[in-house]
Chains A and B, each alone.
Chain A
Amino acid sequence: MKFYNCEKACHICDKSQYKENTFIEKLLLQFHLVFCMVCRKYTANNNKLSLAFKKSNLKTLSLAQKQVLQERLQMEMRKQN
């Protein structure tokens, strides 16, 4: 088992926001955080960001849906010109 440096710890922290980390990764990240204040701060901000997205219940249109809107708008613009 290899201990994490800060770069690796941040990467695992990012993955954990999407629940894509393994149990071992989670454990090693926690161990790193005990000793690293910088990564603790990054993790706290990262968690806050995830919470903000969850709370906001933000929705976006997909690229394909935007494409449909754009094409319809452009068609009308061409008609006007």
Chain B
Amino acid sequence: MATLPEPVERLLESALVGELTVVNPAGRPVTYPLIPLYDGEKVYLTSSTLFSRKLEHIKGNPKVSVSITDPIAVGGRTDRATIQGDARVIEDDPHGGWERLLPIWEKKEPAIVYFLKERIALPLFFERALIEVTPRRALYWASGSATAAPVVTEVGKEAA
């Protein structure tokens, strides 16, 4: 099974927020801060239908990246990573299908369970699709600084 380098996995697990970048029809990168959820193999993100333009972009071009750059969002760690991968939008059940990721989400954002109980107040926020990212390549900066070249790992292959 293809796996990400261990420090990249730790970053994904600790990150309260990362950046999902998709490519729009004009070929421009569009970046969305989102909570990355990692199950040990794939990276998941969820998107409300309210903010679903990113889903349109992914359906048009599945090549995406997820970056972890904010030391404040990872409990003070200073290393950084970008994971490139192929994304798939899972929307069989936008009403509740995403809730299978609730346990991982709750670990990062405990308040989400409370908000979900108040679904009546903001019903469309909880109509959500899942974005499943299969990692293809990881770029890792141990120092966090772009002045050093990243360690590049083709996922499932030897580190470059």
Does A associate with B in a complex?
no
B residues contacting A by CB (< 8 A) are none
